[in-house]
Structure 1
């Protein structure tokens, strides 16, 4: 690769890891897979193109499919001049992406819905969006939901987010994930249409309650 001398044109691996909220090793794997453009200095230090990082974030912030694009932040906030309410759904099933999107459009039009299809992308988007509401499936490609939740809970900014978990696992099957689910509202996917709206409304009420 052609080496770029301008420091403003690149990041170090550590800088990208901090920016995306990932481990350094995860960033190195992204480079190896060709997801980020990188080269090495004569001293052997890896440099990653800022443009490729911006492109990666932009691609992950746009859900796949025409209807999905309407779900990803196109709903304007209800009050001009106020910060929009954002929800990040981390879910790999297109069916449940569509179902959650439909519920939010119908019952919570004031909330911008953004979608990540795996845990690694979800971590990056969480750091970028700082959503008030986080809806996470336990079983995810890339990084499982329990590990993702544990990682996010270790961050100070996570205290500002309302967390909901959706899963196809029944109560007995969720036992191995109890360490991550303690105190977290859980929606069983077969009852998502019935259970998600009231739980999300409670989250909205907490966010909008006077300080």
Structure 2
């Protein structure tokens, strides 16, 4: 896919959209669309004047749940497929946490922290927003930990969708993000009343916060 390369010749005006228009069509934040372009997930180029234009066709593929020409569930379909299915449970009746995080480093770090502090808690992971949304519907976790900047659907949009559904009202949510307070401003409405952990403070802040959500005592650091 193209990413900020020279525009194809004779592109019709209605064949492209601006970054803001793409964000509105996809229900994502502008920053999330910019990241999708940077990763080559949306076809885009810059005009001679330096303005970014995104292929409307590539945006429509995402709206229809397709990624790079292969079928993938849309966010609505991801939840609908599992809405009526009973959530699978392990043999033990234990608390369940779902982590939606695309960084392998932070996935491993959180797994390590939970293994030390909450070894009896079941941890599930997803690496993109659409897969994570499907797993919320399938597994109905007690606590959802979610990054903001995710492939597929960003964490803020995911939270907004879940908040609109009565069956997820009791689920605790923790946002884990590399964005500082000023960078989180565009997501303020979606993050209202939700605990946020800045990734540089993750080791210090997450155990106590997760312990409060689970009603469990945090072990003292050695």
Please classify the TM superposition score into its range, dividing by the shorter chain length.
Answer: 0.5 to 0.7
In structure 2, what is the Cα distance between the partners aligned to 1:84 and 1:180? Answer: 29
Q: Does 1:151 align with 2:166?
A: no
Structure 1 match to 2:118: 108
Is the partner of 2:215 in helix, strand or coil? helix
Q: Which runs of 5+ in 2 are unaligned?
A: 1-61, 74-80, 83-88, 217-222
Q: Which residue does 2:104 correspond to in 1?
A: 94
Asked whether 1:29 is paired with 2:39, we answer no
From the two aligned structures, give the one with the greater helix fraction. 1
**1:140-191, CA deviations, whole angstroms, 9 ceiling, x for partnerless residues?**
0111111011011111111121100000011111111100111001000001
**Alignment match, 2:41:** none
What does 1:153-192 align with in structure 2 at a 5 Å threshold?
153-192=163-202
Deviation at 1:28, TM superposition (A): 5.3
- Residues 138 and 28 of structure 1: is their aligned pair in 2 closer, same or farther, counting only changes over 3 Å? closer
Q: Following the alignment from structure 2 to structure 1, what is the Cα–Cα distance between the partners of residues 195 and 70? A: 36
Shift in alpha-carbon separation, 1:196–1:149, aligned structure 2, 3 A: same
Q: Secondary structure at the match of 2:188?
A: helix
Q: How far off its partner does 1:29 sit? A: 2.6
Aligned residue among 122, 127, 138 for 1:128 = 138
How many positions carry a matched residue from both structures?
142
Per the TM alignment, residue 35 of structure 1 is displaced from its structure 2 partner at its CA by 5.6
Aligned-partner Cα distance in 1 for 2:164–2:205: 27
Taking only aligned residues, the RMSD between alpha carbons, in angstroms, comes to 2.6
